[in-house]
Amino acid sequence: MKTGELKNYFCEPKLIKIIEMKIAVVGATGLVGGQMLKVLEERDFPITELFLVASERSVGKKMTYRGKEYTIIGLQTAVDAKADIAIFSAGGSTSEEWAPKFAAAGTTVIDNSSAWRMDPTKKLVVPEVNAIELTKEDKIIANPNCSTIQLIMALAPLHNRYGMKRVIISTYQSITGTGVAAVQQMEDERNGVDGEKVYPYQIDKNCLAQCDVFTENGYTKEEMKLTNETKKILGDDTIAVAATAVRVPVVGGHSESVNVEFKEDFDIDEVRQILSDFPGVIVEDDIDNLVYPMPINSHNRDEVFVGRLRRDFTNPNTLNMWVVADNLRKGAATNAVQIAEYLNANDLA
């Protein structure tokens, strides 16, 4: 597939099914794993055999996919099954140990953890932006961080047109990014239940200016992911990127306030058109009618929503925008399945 065909490819509501495949979902019992199965079903991915994989404590339990009951298997059994593609969402340590074993058995791994994202030998892929870089030799492919994916979807088409110099991001990230236990903590707090604590402070009716652990430079790992992954995906280390990541008591989507300085001046109407034309982006930008993206409206959606487009009147060539997406869908499961679809359609797995 040529670069010029990439846009039309992802504008199609469903990709052409070329090859029926054996698929493994590693971490199938988790929050993201469940979403991966849901997305595979919704997008009618061509599966001949499905292997649902989880930790030893879940082996032997039953799960249902498309009305059929499956028995959960362990990692070594899944390696031996030699699936065409294994979609991982089982944590970094599991990916570091097992992704190479799957790859050595001939399985292409799409990994949702942070284990391989900054490995210079691995591709970090948002399909609409850089799937064209994938080859048959890429046996471990990294799925970017959820907050990075939606950011890149908004920035990439604008960077291609105007060139970016500097990006400042403040995130408002759903508790679902931490997992099902975080959702339970918020529900417990709302119901007056003294349950397990995932966060060091109350999350209900609160905002925590900490996503992930702090690093030596005072930024959290989540904030540094936005910096490092953005540069890698866009292939440009000259872009200055800094972030503040905040956890908020929201279920259903991450929001980002983005301030981006371009090398060239821009026209707001052209910016709106560029974003509207980019596959997977929906512009909601009508302040006269109070229309702007909200996480409640992005829930269970695969698109990235962009609005509040306006010039930064304090700095030349600088744009402010508001970017929202469901972090479990496009921010994780859907992006991974789209990678699998691209591999399928181009016979790369």
Q: Is the pLDDT of residue 7 over 60?
A: no
Q: Is 254 a catalytic residue?
A: yes
* Over residues 315-335, mean pLDDT: 97
Q: Where in the chain are the domains?
A: 3-144+332-345, 148-327
Region 148-327: CATH code: 3.30.360.10
Is there a contact between 142 and 136 (Cβ–Cβ < 8 Å)? Answer: no
Q: Is pLDDT above 60 for 315? A: yes
For 212-267, the pLDDT digits (tens) are 999 999 999 999 999 999 999 999 999 999 999 999 999 989 999 999 999 999 99
Question: Which is it for the CA torsion 18, 66, 253, 110, positive or negative?
Answer: negative
Please count the CA atoms within 13 angstroms of the CA of 82 that sit on its side-chain side. Answer: 3
pLDDT in tens, 102-158: 999 999 999 999 999 999 999 999 999 999 999 999 999 999 999 999 999 999 999
Cβ neighbourhood burial of 8 (10 Å; 0-12, 13-18, 19+)? exposed
The answer to whether 3-144+332-345 and 148-327 have equal CATH topology is no
Give the CA count within 13 Å in the CB-facing half-sphere of 5: 6
Confidence of residue 307 (pLDDT cuts 50, 70, 90): very high
Query: What is the arithmetic mean of pLDDT over 58-72?
Result: 96
From the number of C-beta atoms within 10 Å of its C-beta (0-12, 13-18, 19+), residue 46 rates as middle
Annotated catalytic, 159?
no
- Whole-angstrom Cα distance, residue 81 to residue 77? 6
Mean pLDDT of 189-210: 96
Mean per-residue pLDDT, 33-57? 96
Instruction: Read off the pLDDT band of 3 (50, 70, 90).
Output: very low
pLDDT score, position 5: 45
Selecting among 11, 159, 254, 299, the annotated active-site residue is 254
Q: What is the pLDDT at residue 19?
A: 83
Distance CA 158, CA 321 (A): 12
The confidence score (pLDDT) of residue 74 equals 97
Mean pLDDT of the chain: 94
Q: Per residue in 317-326, pLDDT tens?
A: 999 999 999 9
146, 207, 211, 299: the active-site residue: 146
How much of the chain, in percent, has pLDDT values that exceed 90? 93
SS3 for the chain is CCHHHHHHHHHCCCCCCCCCEEEEEECCCCHHHHHHHHHHHHCCCCEEEEEEECCHHHCCCEEEECCEEEECECHHHHHHHCCCEEEECCCHHHHHHHHHHHHHCCCEEEECCCCCCCCCCCEECCHHHHHHHCCCCCCEEECCCHHHHHHHHHHHHHHHHHCEEEEEEEEEECHHHCCHHHHHHHHHHHHCCCCCCCCCCCCCCCCECCCCCECCCCCEHHHHHHHHHHHHHHCCCCCEEEEEEEECCCCCCEEEEEEEEECCCCCHHHHHHHHHHCCCEEECCEHHHCECCCHHHHCCCCCEEEEEEEECCCCCCEEEEEEEECCCHHHHHHHHHHHHHHHHHCCCC
Task: Reply yes or no on whether the pLDDT at 4 is more than 50.
Answer: no
Give the per-residue pLDDT at 299.
95
190 alpha-carbon distance from chain centroid: 28
Instruction: Determine the pLDDT at residue 345.
Output: 92
What pLDDT is recorded for position 92?
Answer: 94
* pLDDT score at 17: 54
In the prediction, which pLDDT does 13 show?
41
Q: What pLDDT sits at residue 16?
A: 53
Would you state the pLDDT for residue 218?
A: 98
| Beta partners for residue 53, in sequence order | 26, 73
CATH of domain 3-144+332-345: 3.40.50.720
